[in-house]
Each structure stands twice: as C-alpha cells, then as structure tokens.
Structure 1
Amino acid sequence: MSVLIFIELDNGSIKKTSLETVAYGAKVAAQVNGKAVVLAIGDASSAELEKAGHYGAEKVLHAAGEKLAHENSLAYADVLVQASAQEQSQIIVLPKSGLGDAIAARAAARLKAGVVSGVTALPETEGTFKVTRSIFTGKAFATTEIKSEIKFLVVRKNAIEIDEAGLNTAGATIEPFSPALRDADFQANVVDVEKASGELSLTEAEIIVSGGRGMKGPEHWQALLDLASALGAATGCSKPVSDLDWRPHHEHIGQTGIKVAPNLYIACGISGAIQHLAGVNGSKCIVVINKDPEAPFFKSADYGVVGDVFEILPRLTAAAKAIR
C-alpha cells in the first residue's frame, strides 16, 4: 500500500508548504508500513522533483502537458483519482490551500472517501484511524475518526516539525504519468496569467511583518518595510488597513483575507481583532508590538513589546542587520 501525496508547483518549483506535506505523508507511510509516492502536476524539472526524496518520498509521478500547465481543480482531481488507482493508495495527503481543498473534495466524492481538512498532527493508526484538525478558525481542535477505506488528509502548514539537518540525501525516482483527460474538465480555460514578481508569497513566507492602524498611515510604512527587508520577510496588514487603501488588498491577513502560518509573525500596531487572529493562529511564534498594554493581541502573543512602533521598528531593523 502507498500513501499518495499531492504537491503544488509554482513556476516550476515545489512550494515550501508542499515539501512539508511530503514530510508529513512520509511519516504517515512509515506508520502504516507503506511507501510515500508523490503526485506532481505541471511543468517542473526532474532535478526539482527529485527534492521530494529528501523529505521522504520514494517516487514521484509526474503528469505534465499543455492542458495541465495551469491549475485546474477538475482536471487535477481526475489525475489524482487515476494515480491513486494505479498506486492502490488508501491514504491521500494534500496541502491545505484553495487548490488542495478543491481537489480533495472532488476526488473524495469520486472515490467515496472520507476527507478531513485542516489536519494539524499525525494520525492515530492503532486500531482506528483518527486525526486532529483545527476548527472554529483555529480556536479549537477536534479529533475525527475516518472509517472509509480511502482517506483524504488535507494538512495545515506547520503540522509537523521538520529536521532540516536530518533530511535524506537521495532523491526520489521520477516516473512519467500520463492520465486520461476528460473534455468536460476543460470547459473553462486559463487564457492569461500575470504573476506578482519581487514579492514573497504570504502563504509560503517563513517570516511575516504585518501592520495595522497603529502605523497611522501609508506614509509611515517604510519603517515596517525596512524591518521586513532586513529579515527577508513578507509584509502583510490588517483588514482596516487594506480597506483604507494604505496597503494592497492582497496583503490583507485575517478570516476574510489570507490565512498564514509562518515560523515568525510580527504584528506592528495591530490591536488583535478576532477576525485577524483567525488568520494568524497557525504561526509558530507571534510577536506583538503595540503601545496599548491592554491590546487583545497580547493575550495570543508569545512575546509582547509595549511601546511606540516608530521607536521600536528602527531598533529591530538595526539589530537584524547586525546579525545578518
């Protein structure tokens, strides 16, 4: 039996969140005495796909071609179903994302499989199959038992710790995969793609520096950008900031914006409304900088700094530059 792991590609590279998903799937395969097989759809070099082996995969099925060059959840779900049949996979692992959720829902329906999204830990496989998942926008956790023969796990970022020093040195074997594609899956086609350049993706970033109304206006944002640059971080903002057009809407983090789970999240002048917390509670470490000691965000912070962001940010930037 194999554990099939779907990974996402971006400009020919494996997304960092997908490498974490490979590591998770490999650990699940070890639990059930199976092998970890990766499914990659889209354009990527063999050298890039071999990286999946460093995170525990034995083999990568690579489905490529003009029709599969752009994300298409209908077609990708079909490819996943065919790959799972070939590999006789009873456990299928995907990264938690808009694409991952869409593929899992469609493929699970085809396979009459149980699907759990928002998985935060390795499953319990002794006797029954139980997984822990995040619920209520991350404010609580639930243990869910999957009783179906085929099981889908949609895994959140930072679900497991990865020991970078202990990665495998051998790459995975690459095997071309040629699925049968249905015309019905291509009723809507991508005709043009414009990708943002020069910016770190919020969903992939290890460090995020984010600002709120405490930054007082777009003209004061440079101090935050300087810190982000010194740390090699992505930048984000709260919903009020994007609503006021201080920052672009694609930087809005929160329940109605982008949900992130970096290793370090630095909140500058953000009070900590529940909607914003819902978007950042997957972060490993949260640092809050606010002059109001009663700001709700401090209750969720790992570290808090009470003070003026315009005094603190330059000091942090100088310290970061000195270390780097």
Structure 2
Amino acid sequence: MSKKVLVIGEAREGSLRNVTFEAIAAANIVSDGGEVVGVLCGDGDLSALGQEMVYYGAEKVITVSNPELKTYTSDGYAQAVMEVINDESPEGIIMGHTAVGKDLTPKLASRLESGLISDATEVVAEGGNIVFTRPIYSGKAFEKKEITDGLVFATIRPNNIPSLERDEALTGQVTEKEVSITNIRTIIQDVIRKSSDGVDLSEAKVIVAGGRGVKSAEGFEPLNDLAEVLGGTVGASRGACDAGYCDYSLQIGQTGKVVTPDLYIACGISGAIQHLAGMSNSKVIVAINKDPEANIFNVADYGIVGDLFDVVPKLVDEIKQMKVNA
C-alpha cells in the first residue's frame, strides 16, 4: 500500500550530504508508489537545496528557515521537524544515520511514541511489507526487521543504499514553512570542525587508513599521497590516534566512525576487533602489513605482506602511470 514518506535532509557548509539522496532512494522503496516529501532545516534561503532534493526524487520539499536553526541543536530541529510531521502526517520517516541523525531521530521517535530502526544498510519491499537489514554485534551478524503496521521510522547508513539518478527534468514544489523556535536549552557559542581534508569519511568511496605501523605523524604522508591519486580520503585506527599520529576525527572503528567505502586500504593496521567493527563491511578491503599473521588479512579481499613505506609509494607511482597511459 502506498505511503507518504518524509525524508529529513541534512546539509553541511551549504551543500546537501550524499546520504540525503540515499535516504530519498530508500523512501521511494518505503513509499511503494506514494509521495516522498523532503524537509530541510536551516537559516537563510534553502530553496536551491530543496530543488536539489527534487532532482533526486523528492516530489515536494518543505524548508524551515529560522536563525535558531543556523547551527544544529536537537531542541531546535526537533521543534521544526515535528511541525512538518504534524502538518503532513507521514506514514514513514527516513534520515541518514549520521551524527545529527543519531541525535535527532530518537527524540522524534519518543515524541511520536514510535519505534526506530537505526543504521539500516538495506531496504526492500517483500510481500507488501518493508524489510530493513541492519548490522548487530559490531557488524559480526545482521538482522532483518519487517514493518507490518504503524509508522515506518528508520535511519540508513551512509554509502550503502544507491541514490537515484539526478534528473533536472523532475519537477516538484519547494515551499517555505514558518516555525517559531522557542525554549532552546542548548546555546552554541562556536563550532570548531576537526576533520580530514576533502571527502567526508562516512561518505567516502575510497579510504586509505593508517595504524600504529605508520610510526609517526609523518608516516601518514605516503597515505595522503595514495588517497589523493585515488580520489579518496585518509582515516586511522584508534591505535594511531592514541599514539598522537593524527587527530581523533580520523578514527575508524567501534568508538569512531563506521564506514563502508567501495575500497578500503588498511596500512599498518593489525585488525583489532574494535577497528574491524567500523570497516569490515567495506566492499573491497586491501591490507598492507609486514606481519603475515595479522588479523586484518582475515577480512581482506586482497593482502600485501610488506613494509607500507615500500609498498604504498610504489602503488602511488603505478597508479599515476596508469592515469598517464589511460
């Protein structure tokens, strides 16, 4: 049965995050031919971002602009989104499983007295019902959740559900809704971002990660070179962060970011279970390590036994040569 599904979009530094488009694709599955409605919160003119959601499959988009929404707070965004939910009465709500999504959606689910399926990696329609797949036990197993009745409320893991093709021929209404934001208990004085240059780790298609084997902060330089030629970004294990080789914003693992890139290259990473929990669902894993018994080789699709400081520069040179000859 067709449903109206609300997609809570997320913007960063003036651009929509890719997971917003993936959420629209998931919403199209959940709606089963029904209406997909986007919602965007922020400050200033959001119409261009709303139109971008239309190009990716939203049939209409509601923007909520208010100075109190310039920087995310759970109080402000929850008030704004709840106003839209009350107006639209959707049968489904989808959002990305991001830092914002993980904070906002439980608050909304509580207010709606609804369940919440978090961190879904697959959404399919089976027998008239919607089935979500999500990892459990730190990614060592998966469970399927079937929604047979009631509100469908879920967050989806970035870089898992393919977005629909962008089509500028698609048309949809983008309207602005005025909402009064009051009783904000959290005051944001300043925002200091610590993140890797370039691509967002959680949405990167290619990640080159370093562990204690990089030996120093300077040891990340060849990894940066490899990430650059591959059009990816650099990550790290907790061991490398604890050793002071890089900032904790690069940490991948159970207590860091969970990533699922198309290609994950682990350099000097032994493969502790906490790290594997954050990257073992990557589509292709390449491990580079001097120790042939390192646990990382148990999850790798391809393994190179050798010193990363010998192997990585050779990979960079070879890839550059391939690009020249292409």
The answer to whether TM tops 0.5 is yes
Gaps of 5+ in 2: none
SS at match of 2:102: helix
* 1:196 to 1:214, Cα distance in 2 relative to 1, 3 A: closer
The CA distance in 2 between the partners of 1:103 and 1:7, in whole Å, is 12
* 1:282 to 1:72, Cα distance in 2 relative to 1, 3 A: farther
The CA distance in 2 between the partners of 1:323 and 1:75, in whole Å, is 50
Give, in angstroms, the shift of residue 295 of structure 1: 1.4
Deviating more after overlay: 55-64 vs 124-133: 124-133
SS at match of 1:257: coil
Matched, 1:7 2:9: yes
Deviating more after overlay: 211-220 vs 195-204: 195-204
Give, in angstroms, the shift of residue 27 of structure 1: 2.8
Pairs within 5 Å for 1:281-320 = 281-320=280-319
Deviating more after overlay: 1-10 vs 40-49: 40-49
Q: Which residue of 1 aligns with 2:221?
A: 222
Q: Which residue of 1 aligns with 2:23?
A: 21
CA deviations on 1:27-84 (whole Å, 9 max, x unpaired) are 322x2x2111111111464333312123211111111121011111122122222212
Q: Which residue of 2 aligns with 1:187?
A: 185
The CA distance in 2 between the partners of 1:73 and 1:125, in whole Å, is 34
Q: Give the RMSD, CA atoms, in angstroms.
A: 2.0
The CA distance in 1 between the partners of 2:119 and 2:69, in whole Å, is 26
AA paired with 1:301? Answer: A
Pairs within 5 Å for 1:192-203 = 192-196=190-194, 199-200=197-198, 201-203=200-202
Give, in angstroms, the shift of residue 196 of structure 1: 4.6
Paired residues of 1:78 and 1:107 also in contact (CA < 8 A): no
CA deviations on 1:61-115 (whole Å, 9 max, x unpaired) are 1111210111111221222222122222010001001211221111111111121
Paired residues of 1:114 and 1:147 also in contact (CA < 8 A): no
The CA distance in 1 between the partners of 2:40 and 2:301, in whole Å, is 37
The CA distance in 2 between the partners of 1:147 and 1:187, in whole Å, is 37
Paired residues of 2:96 and 2:157 also in contact (CA < 8 A): yes
Matched, 1:154 2:155: yes
Paired residues of 1:113 and 1:148 also in contact (CA < 8 A): no
Gaps of 5+ in 1: none
Give, in angstroms, the shift of residue 125 of structure 1: 5.1
Paired residues of 1:54 and 1:168 also in contact (CA < 8 A): yes
Dislocated runs of 4+, deviation >4 Å: none
AA paired with 2:214? Answer: M
Q: Which residue of 2 aligns with 1:137?
A: 138
Percent identical across equivalent pairs? 37
The CA distance in 2 between the partners of 1:125 and 1:61, in whole Å, is 30
Q: Which residue of 1 aligns with 2:40?
A: 40
Give, in angstroms, the shift of residue 148 of structure 1: 5.2
Give, in angstroms, the shift of residue 128 of structure 1: 4.2
SS at match of 2:28: helix
Paired residues of 2:252 and 2:258 also in contact (CA < 8 A): yes
AA paired with 2:179? Answer: P
Pairs within 5 Å for 1:60-71 = 60-71=61-72
Give, in angstroms, the shift of residue 22 of structure 1: 1.8
Pairs within 5 Å for 1:275-286 = 275-286=274-285
Q: Which residue of 2 aligns with 1:239?
A: 238
TM-score, length of structure 1 as denominator length: 0.91
SS at match of 2:55: helix
Count of matched residue positions in the alignment of Structure 1 and Structure 2: 318
* 1:295 to 1:198, Cα distance in 2 relative to 1, 3 A: closer
Deviating more after overlay: 314-323 vs 4-13: 314-323
Paired residues of 2:196 and 2:249 also in contact (CA < 8 A): no
CA deviations on 1:190-229 (whole Å, 9 max, x unpaired) are 1112335871322232211111122233333321121122
Paired residues of 1:6 and 1:40 also in contact (CA < 8 A): yes
Q: Which residue of 1 aligns with 2:176?
A: 176
* 1:261 to 1:71, Cα distance in 2 relative to 1, 3 A: same
